[in-house]
Chains A and B, each alone.
Chain A
Amino acid sequence: KAGVTQTPRYLIKTRGQQVTLSCSPISGHRSVSWYQQTPGQGLQFLFEYFSETQRNKGNFPGRFSGRQFSNSRSEMNVSTLELGDSALYLCASSFLGVATEAFFGQGTRLTVV
């Protein structure tokens, strides 16, 4: 059974640019959650999508957005990148959004220069 796949694994962008990250959940999983991990702030919840609808949202500015497609694959977009957006972005998938059944991907390491 394939795990959660995040692409790309590494990304370098310039301040002011925008970026799109992708997450392919485990087959059959309908919930995808996104997290930002930074050394100072730890793991912070960005948003959760369930059956193409945003179900929960964290405290991030509107520059951070996401969506989920009918095949449950999810993308997150960050516009007008800032140096502080440099982080490891993780997604987690589960069948019903049950936290104890969530599996995380390896993450996308974004560096903003």
Chain B
Amino acid sequence: DQQVKQNSPSLSVQEGRISILNCDYTNSMFDYFLWYKKYPAEGPTFLISISSIKDKNEDGRFTVFLNKSAKHLSLHIVPSQPGDSAVYFCAASYSSNTGKLIFGQGTTLQVKP
């Protein structure tokens, strides 16, 4: 039972353009959503998060949007840079005070120079 889904295994964009990574979830009890970035041979690195009471959170080039009615969130990266090329995971938790995260399967982003 995949509660968090990233339906696009890969995405390729040109440097300077916008990258949009999508994530869908099924459990309405999720209270917190997070995005992680992972390079090969490294552990995931936290990027940005959003509480379920918000619909947008921004941090520099990264913005996460949450649509609770559609059970959908997205990560926008503007402008995209070659160093952004990595695997991006979205994750959900039932609260902010838990180490238990439910991850999607990841989307590989390639940013071409």
A56 within 8 Å of B by Cβ?
A: yes
Q: Which of A4, A43, A56, A107 contacts B98 (CB 8 A)?
A: A56
| Chain B interface size range | 20 to 34
Asked if residues B97 and A107 are in contact (CB atoms below 8 Å), the reply is no
Q: Which of A44, A45, A98, A106 contacts B97 (CB 8 A)?
A: A98
A98 to B93, CA, bound (A): 10
B83 within 8 Å of A by Cβ?
A: no
B96 within 8 Å of A by Cβ?
A: yes
Mask of B93-113 contacts with A, CB within 8 angstroms, 1/0: 100111111111110000000
Q: Which of A31, A44, A105 contacts B99 (CB 8 A)?
A: A31
- In the complex, which residue of chain A has the Cβ closest to the Cβ of B43? A104
Q: Which of A41, A48, A96, A100 contacts B100 (CB 8 A)?
A: A48
